[in-house]
Chain A
Amino acid sequence: MIIEIILTIVLIVSLIVAAETRDLLVAIVALGIIGLIVAIYFYLLQAPDVAMTQAVVGISLAAAFYILGVRRTKRFEEE
């Protein structure tokens, strides 16, 4: 129970950071934290297959694609 409360607070803070920051690389890092917390939730809900797939695909691969996309375009959001 304590673990879930701490993870919920970190999740909500990361969500707000991902929404409001103008630096897209910071948003990608926040997305990675969200994916990690969701993978820990999948493990706590007794779903090891889904946790492994989320950790590999939802965090690493999504962050890699986003970073390659940001490098080819602008890093900061416009006004």
Chain B
Amino acid sequence: MSDLGTLYYINVVAMVVIGLYIVLTKRNVLKILIGLDILGTGVNLLIVVIGYIEGGTAPIYTAGISPAKFVDPLPQALVLTAIVIDAAVLAMAISIAVRLYREFGTLDVRKMRLLKW
């Protein structure tokens, strides 16, 4: 049904819009990282939504299901890698945020000005 497709696309666009709004507007470093995480999760959802086939089943060979009805396995392989890499980058970004707090005493990005202009 095209209505279901529209619903999934609205979900994805809501996540992308609010993720982008958090990254553009907020001042706390940890809040910005939350926005980046939401943005990345939205794009992962979009990739898997595009790979869906109407009336399809999971792409695992089981007894009694013919492989002609499989959903596209290629976007799932891409998103599998992307989720793990997002978590690894997040761990490093949070370590950097902890170090920033130790250096500057605040997590406000407008107060971290070492470059004088």
- On A, residues with C-beta under 8 Å from B are 1, 4-5, 8, 11-12, 15-16, 18-19, 24, 27-28, 31, 34-35, 38, 41-42, 45-50, 53-54, 57-58, 61-62, 65-66, 68-70, 72-74, 77-78
Q: List 11 A-B contacts (CB under 8 A).
A: A15-B38, A16-B18, A19-B18, A31-B34, A41-B11, A45-B51, A47-B48, A47-B58, A54-B44, A65-B90, A72-B98
B 46-62 contacts with A by CB, 8 A: 48-49, 51-52, 56-60
Distance (Å) between the CB of A18 and the closest chain B CB? 6
Choose among A35, A41, A78 the residue that contacts B28 (Cβ–Cβ < 8 A). Answer: A78
Chain A interface, DSSP helix/strand/loop, else mixed: helix
Kindly name the residue among B4, B57, B76 whose own CB sees the greatest number of chain A CB atoms within 10 A.
B76
Distance (Å) between the CB of A21 and the closest chain B CB? 9
Q: Are A42 and B98 in contact (CB under 8 A)?
A: no
CA distance A1 to B3 in the complex (A): 9
Known A50-B76, A50-B79: A73·B34 in contact at CB below 8 Å: no
